[in-house]
Amino acid sequence: MKNQLTAKGRKELKNKMAAAISKEIKTLSRDLQNVLLDDLVTALENRLAILNRTRHNLQCTVAITECAECETIQT
């Protein structure tokens, strides 16, 4: 995926998520906290990639539909 974060960006995001949910995950072991945070970062990356693709496909569909309507009007 070309929209994936760099290693530095991923680490920064992971640290921000850790700070945001530190109270909720403090009962987990350090290893489980790391696994959870890695999963959350990966899930966010995947969701953003899907939304970006969907947005791109939607724009293409609208453009195609508009052209098809123009052709219908011209006939």
Name the residue ranges covered by the structural domains of the chain: 7-74
Q: What's the pLDDT at 15?
A: 96
Q: Which residues of 7-22 are buried (b: 16+ CB within 10 A; e: fewer)?
A: eeeeeebbeebeeeee
**pLDDT confidence of 58, banded at 50, 70, 90?**
low
Q: Residue 54 has what DSSP assignment? A: H
- Regarding pTM above 0.75, the answer is no
Which residues lie below 8 Å from residue 45, measured CB to CB, with a gap of 6+? Answer: 1, 3, 4, 5
Sign of torsion, CA 59 61 65 67?
A: positive
pLDDT tens per residue across span 13-44? 999 999 999 999 999 999 999 999 999 999 99
